[in-house]
Structure 1
Amino acid sequence: MPTVSSKGLKMPESPIRKLVPFAEKARKENKHIYHLNIGQPDIKSPAIAMEAVAKHGIDVLAYSRSEGSEEYREKIAAYYHKNDIHVEADDIIVTTGGSEALLFAMGSICDAGDEVIIPEPFYANYNGFATASGVNIVPVISKIEDNFALPPISEFEKLITPRTKAILICNPGNPTGYLYSEEEIQTLTQIVKKHDLFLVADEVYREFVYDGLEHYSILQEESMAENGIIIDSVSKRYSMCGARIGCLVSKNKQVISTALKFAQARLSPPTFAQLASEAALDTPQSYFDDVIEEYVDRRNTLVSELQKIPGVTVGVPKGAFYCIAQLPVKNSDRFAQWLLEEFDLDGETIMVAPAAGFYSTEGVGLNQVRIAYVLKKESLLKAVEILKTALEQYQD
């Protein structure tokens, strides 16, 4: 009997999506589910993006350039200039979502068996991208007690080996909502320059920063021209997750020329989605002002209500729209499944993402969940009420 690859067997399940069969069964039982498990915003996509597709005037839906259309890349570069990130169109490769940009980055800078250091918890699919690329993740643990702040530089340096090729961060962070300060970015800059490494920064949540703080990009550091790689996406910025448009950005010409070969192998990014994404770049600032105000209100509501539940500890996010909550349970995987299979409050329940899948260290995060506050305030209040009641009834 033929067998699948060892790589395929090692590919991790998504902690965000693996509970879907249980959710579908719960829906068939007429349970209403509040989805706290996935970062799918309920904010409307910009009308200007939708109109660009509706009025496209295209007669032949042809391939685009492998690196993305020149017009779109020029507009992306202009967007970055406004954010004090000085890159040109030739420093950008348009990808099929930020996911493909991460795969291109790993493929371009790592050989099989090479290592990437990542502060954990981290975006769960980094595990999958690393497995697919034959790359080993070396975790450096940040703790909920410290609100997931950057671990000391000594913790990074003792993990660096001859196989280390990069440090990867998500800023602001998924799943923690942690925002790296300018000083922390400069600390990471010093580490990668000292050890001749790449610093890969997943900056897809750049716009979502709260409490009067500002996002500081790795490419705002002039010395990072050869060492810095940005991963970006329109998915969350414009609430266009289904567009599947992202980009890889670097001033390192060898990185870009190498990533382009990966891009050529998959031919081109989707044409209609590039049209929508190009138009979305003209979205007025008022759109983001309203969205940020909404997310701050949701965050404050969620965190304050979670803090009222006995035994619950919650990290306070400074950006993105996620938080990690530590629950008084032994295994959040079992608890999350129980919520869907066996529990409801007046016909309603919640779906959360068990946080162990956001770590690569075995046995860490077993009693934690990631919560996405992408629902309206009223729904979040109800969801936390359901969680509180569920914890009162749950038997480990």
Structure 2
Amino acid sequence: MAYHKKSFTWSPTVSQVLTKTCLINLKPTVTANQGPVRLKIDTERELQFSNDLSWNWHKSWNIPNLSIKLQLEDEDTPQWMDCQAQLMAVKLNQDGVYEEVGLEGVTTQELVDGKAFFSGVKFNSTTYNHQGHKFHLIILLKSANNIITALESPPIFVDSRKSARDEHRQTQFIQPFEPKYLERNFCKKEKHFNDVIEAPIENNENGLHNYLTAPNIRNKIKHPLFLALKFSKCMTIYHLRTMITDNHLIEFQRQLKQKQGQCEYIIAFQSNNNRIRKKIEETLTQLFIQSSVKVMERKYVDETLYQKLDYDIKSYYEAYNKLVEMMNSTNSESTMEIQIEEQNQQQISSQQGQFNRQQSNGGRKSAFRKFNKDFDKLPTKNFCEFQNEDSIQKKVKEEEVIDYGNKMLPVNIQNLFFQEQLIKYYLFQQQYMINLLSQQI
């Protein structure tokens, strides 16, 4: 289920913000006697929006200029109009407290006549560097050390490179893996001075950390089922107790590929070492940040709502072929849709190109061009035939169809070909599901 774009709306907040020096309570500590305080915020333009990431922005880009205006019911209160406005970027921690992540640029402005303007401000970190947490912007209005009001923005996904949004890069980690790799032994090799030290990768938190950080292991398998089976002592998959499905492994794979919407599974990890725990959390969150499956520390899992998924190496062997078929069918469908969309775009571009060439050659072609004569020298009877404007438009339209109909024919044939292939594919899928149901019965 994709999120639909809504306006970039600021809303009041009374949360707590943990800064580098103190804990700030955003609940107002002073109010105007004349009535409620209203803070109007205008942005020069909206941030980017996509169905996958919702609101998103690039770390190296300036945040769109922000202008704020303080409004009071009683305008005869100049002392309230000369206060400070502070712009902050925060992330929401698991304990419900915001933590400041920092901004670059001038983030504090004095209100002059009740107005302030923020320009040239950037994020100084990314969502990936904060274990997948999206950021919120907060505008804090204060007088001395007193909080007047605070507004927060919707969550914003901040990245630092284009590849962070590459769908292929995100989906390659959820492709089903061959079961034989579950029985393979791995070791981490590191250079220490002039010696090469080998550290065996065992079924514990150190082993999981060594596997994720081993420079000698190429093309690591990072599928959550592989990690949960290989490192079962520190990683577990949970599912909602109320959910009903015939095969949890197949349903988990389907929801793992799902980008948005309600998910019924949790990837849980645990570690008593803060350094290792932070590295594991950061890696797992970066891998599955665009998936609807949640990643969290095991101690935060509510086991009254969730229970451990029952799986082992044998069950994965049994489900492997079905997992591959499901992923292949999904990828084929996506590829077919992309190809059809590309063909449609090519057709639109071709039509636009022909229209532009027609315009550059003197605008719309005249219905009189076949005479190859000056308009004044046309025969009278032919001129009378074209006196009616509707007749002129009809003849022009007919000539344009004759001129350009043949040129568009190859594109239309290609579209018909892809549509035929898509119909065959859907018929194959339908037959496959019928066979699958008959086997289960």
TM-score (norm 2): 0.25
Instruction: Pick the structure with more strand per residue.
Output: 2
Structure scoring higher RCO (CA < 8 A, sep ≥ 6) equals 1
TM-score (norm 1): 0.27
